[in-house]
Amino acid sequence: MRKHLNTIYVTTEDAWLRKDGANIVVEVEGKERGRAPLHLLEGIMCFGRIGASPALLAACAEAGIAFSYLSPIGRFLARVEGPRSGNVLLRRAQYRVADDNTRSVLIARYIVAAKVANQRTVIRRVLRDYGASSPEASQKALQAAEAWLTDTTRRIVKVTDMDSLRGIEGEAARVYFSVFNLFIRSEDPAFQFGGRSRRPPLDRVNALLSFLYALLGHDCRSALESVGLDPQVGFLHADRPGRTSLALDLMEEFRPVLADRLALNLINRAQVRAADFTCHEGGGITLHDDARKTVLTAWQERKKQEIRHPFLGETMTFGLVAHMQALLLSRYLRGELDAYPAFIWK
C-alpha cells in the first residue's frame, strides 16, 4: 500500500528550512524549531516569506517531495520540480481526450455526478444528525434540496454535451449553497453564509471555504503530477493560462467531502471564531495567522482519517484518496478501464 505521508506546513514568516543529513530542519531566528525525517514527507508547503537551502530543495526534488510556495492566504505561487517529469504517452492520451468534447464529457459527467452525490450526502448527514431538532421549515428545505440533488445525479449521467453539463452543475451548486446556512449550528451571526463568493470572500464561511479549497487544490495537483498527468489540461474546466484545470476537475468530487464538511465542523465546534478573521476595507475577509494554523492542523487530522475506497474496496486514509483517483483516471486514459470511477462518498 502506498503510504499516507505527512505534509509540513510552514507559516512562520522568515523561517529558514535546511537539510541536515536525511532530515529537514526548521529554524526561526537561528534557533531550531522543528525537525523531521524526509522519508516520512510527501510535501512541504510554505505560506509567506520562508527561505530554504538549495540542498533541501534538491533533496525534495530527488525524493519526489512536493515543495511549494503559497501566499499567506494559500494562493499557489511556485514549486520546485525534479527531473522526473512523468509519462509522455499518458499525457498524449490525456490531451487527445481533452481535445475531443464527446470523450471529455464521458469523464466530466461522472466527476460532476459524484460531486452532486457527495453534496447530497452532506445534506443527508445534516438531516440524520440534526434533522429532528431543526425547525420544520429547515427540515423541509433540506429534504427538498436532497431530493432535487438525487434526481439531478440521474440526469447528469445521461448528459452528452459539455454546456448542458456545466449548466446543471451550476444549478446544483446554487441549490446546495442555498441550504448551506442550515448546516451551520453556530448561534453567532458572524457565521451567516451569504452565498458563494471567492474574489474576495465576502463572509467568514467563504473565507474558510476558500482557504480549504486552496489546500485541496494543492493536494489534487500533487496527486495528478505523481501519476504523470498534466494538471493544467482538464476536461470539465476549459484551458486557461495559469489555471490547473485538471486539478480543479479532480477537486470537484472532494469539495463537499473534505473541505465543506471540515469547514462546518470547525464552525459548529467553535474551533474557529468570529475574531479569527480580518475584515478588509471593501468587504473582503481573510483568516488570521493563528486561525490558519488551527485549520491546517484540522486539515491534517482529516486526511489521517480512514475510509474504505468505494471502487478499490481497500481501507486507506482520506489523504490518499486523491492519489487513488488520479491513478484510476490515468488507468482509464490508458485504456484499462471502461470509464472513470469518480469518488462517491456515502
Partner 1 sequence: MMPKPDQRQDEENLVPVSALQHYLFCPRQCALIHIEQQWAENGATVEGRLLHERVDSGVPDRKRGVRTLRTLPIRSFALGIYGKADAVELHGTGSTLIPYPVEYKRGSPKPHHADEVQLCAQALCLEEMFGCAVSEGALFYDRPHRRTTVQFDQDLRDLTQKTAQKVQDMLAAGKTPQPVWNKGCKHCSLEAICQPRRLEKPLCVEKWFLENLED
Give the nearer residue to partner 1 in terms of CB position, either 198 or 334: 334
Q: What's the order of all strands across the beta sheet hosting 51-52? A: 31-37, 23-28, 15-20, 51-52
312 binds partner 1 (CB under 8 A): yes
> Rounded to an integer, what distance in angstroms lies between the CA atom of residue 264 and that of residue 280?
23
CB 41 within 8 A of CB 5: yes
Site for partner 1 in 160-219 (CB under 8 A): none
Using the rule CB under 8 A, is 340 a contact of partner 1? yes
Q: Give the DSSP H/E element, type plus range, for residue 45.
A: strand 41-47
Q: How far apart are CA 60 and CA 44, in angstroms?
A: 9
Contact segment (CB under 8 A) with partner 1 among 68-76, 175-183, 261-269, 337-345 equals 337-345
The residue range among 27-35, 78-86, 128-136, 194-202 that interacts with partner 1, by the rule CB under 8 A, is: 78-86
Site string for partner 1, 105-144 (x = CB under 8 A): -----x--xx--x---------------------------
Distance CA 230, CA 69 (A): 19
**Choices 12-20, 83-91, 159-167, 293-301 (CB under 8 A): range interacting with partner 1:** 83-91
Strands 15-20 and 23-28: antiparallel
Count Cβ atoms below 10 Å from residue 136 Cβ, excluding itself.
7
Among residues 39 and 240, whose Cβ is nearest to partner 1? 39
- Binding-site string for partner 1 from residue 267 to residue 306, where x marks contact by CB under 8 A and - marks none: ----------------------------------------
Q: Is 252 annotated as a binding residue?
A: yes
Helix (H, G, I), strand (E, B) or coil at 42: strand
Does 237 show up as a binding residue in the annotation?
A: yes
The annotated binding site for Mn(2+) is made up of 169, 237, 252
